Amino acid sequence: MPTNVFSPPALEPGTLRVYPLGGLGEVGRNMTVFEYDGKLLVVDCGVLFPEEHQPGVDLILPDFEPIRHRLDDIVGVVLTHGHEDHIGAVPYLLKLKRDIPLIGSGLTLALIEAKLKEHRIRPFTLTVTEGQREQVGPFDLEFIAVNHSIPDALAVAVRTPAGLVLATGDFKMDQLPLDGRITDLRAFSRLGEEGVDLFLVDSTNADVPGFTPTERGIGPVLDQVISKSPRRVIVASFSSHVHRVQQVVDAAAANGRRVAFLGRSMVRNMTIAENLGYLNVPDGVLIDYKKAQDLPDDRIVYMSTGSQGEPMAVLSRMANLEHAIEPGEGDTVILASSQIPGNENAIYRVIDGLTKLGANVVHKGNAKVHVSGHAAAGELLYCYNILRPRNVLPVHGEYRHLMANAKLAQDTGIPAERTILAENGTVVDLKNGVAEVVGQLDIGFVYVDGSTVGEITDADLKDRRILGEEGFISVIVVVDGKTGRVVSGPDIHARGVAEDDSVFEGVKPKIAAALAEAVQSGTRDNHALSQVVRRTIGRWVNQSLRRRPMIVPVVIEA
């Protein structure tokens, strides 16, 4: 939850208000709201994937509460590119109001439309390309090509009478991209000459010195690994990384292998990419994975999801021998992706599991099979020097990334007071070339748990962690309401605490004595008596077993 919450003042005429609802202090659920003249523009609407301390949670959404009562004021949602951490929460926003227009490139909109189809939502869309300008409500939008680990990514320049804002989305400055589409630094330069009043810039690799390596260096490595693999090859990557899939397809074809896609999202996204011309597959290379199992082991490459160690994704199920394809001796598994912060333990568990099965696991740590999609420090310095923005708001990253990005901005001469280190819910007003923090909204995490959205709280997650780590004890006791004497019980049952319930025989007299004393002191309420039981057995379990389990006492009055 944000610290130092305080309400922003009413928005003054001629002022642009900017407030991120996700993506700051975390890598995921990116969403920023722009407000001008009573209208709202949303840039990105993504999800965050849960970590181990959030058991049972499927997805984490931005907190829509600050705009929930203003859905009619939203003139559009600009989607900078098609990654889940930028588009994954769109279905949940459109469930609140289905006719909010979505604005983005062709591939980005195709990916979100396929996702929305599963939610039975048919969106209103506006397809845009780099160099295009659109007036959306009071916002004059210009779209700029940027290079990222998915085709068709766009930065967006937002012009209002209050000033010019440039939001990069996710980007890097690969000078030799696979599709030939580079980050448009000429457009950046032109905007710099016009005068960028506020720069919202990707921070993910701000603490990485130098420059992000080019994607072209990955292809030869993949080709070499595949050519030397004696049996099956399984490549795991993000299901939207079209460039990486293209390289795998090319390497497989060059080595006389066919390719089978595994995982629903991989099949869906690559079908869309191929249909739109972003993925070029030679005739006869693709094969259905069920038919692929009839091929010789040295003639197949499986392209799968699960590079982040997700429990239900294809690669994890393979490692646990819960998939039709069981990796074994002589197989090669390539993890062609980076590690999202927080996923390290899950990824290494999968690597260990595959290695134990006899597979040769190739990953970023031992071979150049992936490069990042985000600009490193050297690239960010170029951007600051080209743009010379008046104010900077680092976005998209954990706090250390935001801090490193702010330091880079200051190194290029941007004053510290014009470099805003914000968190989710920070309200920034831009007027007369000056951006300043004017409020901090009280927002938090919104958890998707099965079919429920926003019902699960942090307290529920704490209970789940206790259940998983410390166990559960139930105590049922029947007492005489007048004397406090135990008529039946206590019956104590435990799960995950001790091997045998007989260990609790020593605490039963203590519970009976505590109840009798409480009744004699005037306590008659069943809830209060339940708390007496909870405290008594809780102290005993902590001292005797060194555990802090969840305790559910039930006191019945006879």
Q: What is the CA radius of gyration of the chain?
A: 28
Is the separation of the CB atoms in 184 and 157 below 8 Å? Answer: no
Q: Shortest CA distance to 43 belongs to which of 423, 396, 388?
A: 396
**What does the block give as tokens for 416?**
């510290």
Instruction: Collapse the DSSP code of 143 into the 3-class scheme (helix H, G, I; strand E, B; otherwise coil) and give the result.
Output: strand
Question: Which residues contact residue 172 at a Cβ distance below 8 angstroms, ignoring those fewer than 6 apart?
Answer: 147, 148, 183, 205, 212, 372, 373, 374, 375, 376, 379
Q: CA–CA separation, 241 vs 236, rounded Å?
A: 10
Among positive and negative, which fits the CA dihedral 170, 175, 180, 181? positive
The label of the residue with tokens 């923090």 reads 437
Question: Which residues contact residue 137 at a Cβ distance below 8 angstroms, ignoring those fewer than 6 apart?
Answer: 37, 39, 41, 75, 76
Instruction: Collapse the DSSP code of 339 into the 3-class scheme (helix H, G, I; strand E, B; otherwise coil) and give the result.
Output: coil
Residue type, 335: L
**What does the block give as tokens for 202?**
């990707």
Instruction: Collapse the DSSP code of 301 into the 3-class scheme (helix H, G, I; strand E, B; otherwise coil) and give the result.
Output: strand
Q: CA–CA separation, 335 vs 304, rounded Å?
A: 10
Q: Shortest CA distance to 430 belongs to which of 6, 7, 11?
A: 11
Is the separation of the CB atoms in 180 and 56 below 8 Å? Answer: no
Q: Please report, in angstroms and rounded to a whole number, the separation of the first and last CA atoms in the chain.
A: 46
Q: Which parts are annotated binding residues for substrate?
A: 370-374
Is the separation of the CB atoms in 275 and 286 below 8 Å? Answer: no
Output the DSSP codes for 150-204. Answer: STT-EEEEEEETTEEEEE--S-B--SS-TTS----HHHHHHHHHH--SEEEEE-T
Q: Which parts are annotated binding residues?
A: 370-374
Question: Which residues contact residue 11 at a Cβ distance below 8 angstroms, ignoring those fewer than 6 apart?
Answer: 17, 35, 429
Is the separation of the CB atoms in 24 and 423 below 8 Å? Answer: yes
The label of the residue with tokens 């104590």 reads 492
Q: CA–CA separation, 17 vs 443, rounded Å?
A: 17
Q: CA–CA separation, 387 vs 376, rounded Å?
A: 17
**What does the block give as tokens for 499?**
């091997």
Q: How far is CA 219 from CA 216, 255, 271, 332, 362, in A?
A: 6, 13, 21, 16, 14
